Amino acid sequence: MRTVTPAPVTAPPDGGPRTERLAHVGRRVAAYVALTKPRIIELLLVTTLPTMLLAQQRVGGGFPSVWLVVATLVGGTVAAGAANTLNMYLDRDIDGVMNRTRRRPIVTGAVTPRGALVFGIVLAVVSVAFFAVVVDLLAAGLTALAIVGYVVGYTMVLKRRTPQNIVWGGIAGCMPVLIGWAAVTGSLDWAPLALFLVVFFWTPPHYWPLSMRFRRDYAKAGVPMLPVVASDVRVAVEMVAYSVAMVAASLALVPLAPMSWVYAVVAAAVGAWFCWSVGVLLWRARHPRPGRRLREMGVFHASITYLTVLFAAVAVDPFLPL
């Protein structure tokens, strides 16, 4: 009987220099994408699209054109990426000190400071020019103002000088609602101003819990975030005040837009729920107990849920048959 000898098993080729080059390019692209802080951009876009849907009701109803929506979201993404990249370039010294940020691309050397600076400037110029050519000049001007506000106003002027840095620096994060409204209507109105104020008052109770969680990082880096220089009770009291103002601004949209009772109920309910979560944080801060945590990150995640639900209601309400 004839015996068949099996062929020897050989290891697959490792791909060689070409595979390594592709992997290197992939890592470089990922590093530059990380400079733009994609997860923060997602949150900004959550506010832009619903605002555009609401604005369309002022110019005839229905849906804004798909092209306009895509152009505005793409332009907004590039603009936010520019601001975030330049923020990382300017903060590269303290990013290397803080545990939360020490793995950012410039700190690890994945991207050089010069490369990040050029990348951020190019993104900024492209985004403003794109809005000016494809959308309209008002949206372009607001986009330029948002980038300058975040990079110069917040990062260069406020962040390392005042505990109220995130309050006034957060204005740049409110601009997408104005940009989305301007893209559709070519003008501004009281309704987008109410949405602007919602995001403005939302920013401190959204960001301060994160600052409470990483206060040692900020203290080590010399950044005077409010939770670094003030007691937990004072921070929580201010968070309650901003949360109440945020809910008031959301309800002001009802007569200004105008919105239906459905939006009013959702805004009141989700606003009450978020104020309750902040109130619990305040109660825990005032009544400390060994082994009991503040659970500040629960408030941080609740703030994201609040904004998402509220702007989902903004998007849906104009299309309800009421």
**Signed CA dihedral, 147, 149, 154, 155: sign only:** positive
Domains and their CATH numbers in the chain: 28-187 (1.10.357.140), 189-322 (1.20.120)
288: its two tokens: 């400390």
Helix, strand and coil percent figures for the chain, each rounded to 5: 80, 0, 20
DSSP string, 68-124: HHHHHHHHHHHHHHHHHHHHHHHTHHHHTTSTTTTTSHHHHTSS-HHHHHHHHHHHH
> Could you tell me the CA-to-CA distances from 43 to 7, 99, 103, 240 in Å, in that order?
56, 23, 22, 22
Query: Which three-class secondary structure state does DSSP give residue 235?
Result: helix
Amino acid letter for position 302: A
> Residues of the chain whose pLDDT is less than 50?
1-4, 7, 9, 11
**Sequence-separated contacts (24+) of 247-250 with Cβ below 8 Å:** 247/271, 247/272, 247/274, 247/275, 249/194, 249/195, 249/197, 249/198, 249/200, 249/201, 250/194, 250/198, 250/310
Cα–Cα dist 266/247, whole Å: 11
Q: What is the model's pLDDT at position 118? A: 97
